[in-house]
Chains A and B, each alone.
Chain A
Amino acid sequence: MGEIERYILIFIGAALIYNILLIRFIGLCPFFGVSSSIETSIGMGLAVIFVMTVASAICWVVWNYILYPLGVGEFLYIPAFILVIASLVQFEEMVIKKASPTLYKALGIYLPLITTNCAVLAAATESVKPGFLKLHVAYHFTFIEAIVYSLGVALGFTVVIIMFAAIRERIDVAPVPRSFKGYPIAFITAALMSLALTGFSNLFGL
């Protein structure tokens, strides 16, 4: 398999076939929490793309050059990665505030919220231990593959959360039975969207 071909497969696998929200149920809290309007979900999506890609890149370096060579990876990776993510979010908040006040305003409160977004920790963990994906068992991503992978995950997240927000805006004005108002109907909607995405499974034999 050629280099480029493998990148494309990893990207599509991460974004569609194993979509992090609807197929793997990771990062659902922001999915239901901030999807009440299209604008906020675009903000959240952008923030996630940014943090997830950089966090995965740094965690890949931390794992491959610090934790793994020292032989402490197995029991230190959870605290190490979460600290990387937490400090990265804080750092990025400061940088963006200084460099681009407009972007900072657009991202607003979503930036700090990302620390507890499990999708970021999951993507970081999987970019060093892709066995979780059942895509390449006992396979190790190279640096570029890890970045392609996390970019795919983040884009899959963004596309789905924006689509979901668009549907929810419509449902808000629709006549829904009283017991189903609010969250229950949102879950049923998510079930139908998830059903649609299962159509991608087994694409390219992934």
Chain B
Amino acid sequence: MNAFSEIWQDFKNGLLVENPLMRLMIGLCSSLAVSTRVENGLFLGVGATFVLVCSNVIISLIRKIIPDEVRIPMFIVVIASFVTIVDLAMKAYFPGIYDRLGVWIPLIVVNCMILGRAEAFASKNPVIRSAADGLGMGMGYTIVLIIMGVVRELLGTGSIVLFENTIVTLGSGFKPPVIMIMFPGAFLTFGLLMALLNRLQNRVDA
């Protein structure tokens, strides 16, 4: 396998085969909490992807000089610095969305997806492959957030609003079940999405 297809493989891995949310079951908390709206999912997804790619690159660069015993605190400090950048940047440029995401931006630090990839991938692989892995994982995460956001926002409010423009609407005859944007709707959507994926997988395997 040449270098390029190896990188492509690392990137593709995160999208479906090892999708962090659907397959590895990591980084769940934020995905359930913010998927009430497509917009929220998009912003948190982009923020997490940024942190994931940057921290993977830095950790991969310094992987040979970190003593094994203190690697976890080192990783956390690298991740926390990038999260602080996202935290302050989002507060400055998108204050409305920052308020809605609230505690979830600082909580990217302890999103197990990021520390998990640092530990499992970036600390063992060269820089470019780590960047590809970070990008793939981040996009896999963002895609699931957006799918959940579409389902919950459409069913829960009857329309999808993106940057204050209504994209899709189900018409005024549709009475939205509020439960979908409330807490139980998140668990329900995620469980059904996972069951659907399992079913497709079973079909393919059979």
Contacts and interface: CB of A to CB of B under 8 A. Distances in A.
Interface of A: 22-29, 32-33, 75, 77-79, 82-83, 86-87, 115-118, 121-122, 125-126, 132, 177-181, 183-188, 190-192, 194-195, 197-198
Contacts of A87: 73
Interface of B: 25-30, 32-33, 72-73, 76-77, 80-81, 83-84, 87-88, 102-103, 106-107, 109-112, 115, 179, 182-188, 190-192, 194-196, 198-199, 202
Contact of A188 (B28, B191, B199): B191
A181 B84 CA distance: 39
A32 B24 CA distance: 12
Interface-central residue, A125, A132, A179, by most chain B CB under 10 Å? A179
Contacts of A183: 25, 191, 194
Majority SS at the chain A contact face: helix
B107 to A, nearest CB: 5
A179 B73 contact: no
A176 to B, nearest CB: 10
B84 A184 contact: no
Given A79-B77, A116-B112, A121-B106, 18 more contacts: A25-B183, A29-B26, A29-B27, A33-B25, A75-B88, A78-B80, A78-B109, A82-B109, A116-B115, A118-B107, A122-B107, A177-B195, A179-B196, A184-B191, A184-B195, A191-B191, A194-B183, A194-B184
A192 B185 CA distance: 10
Contacts of A126: 103
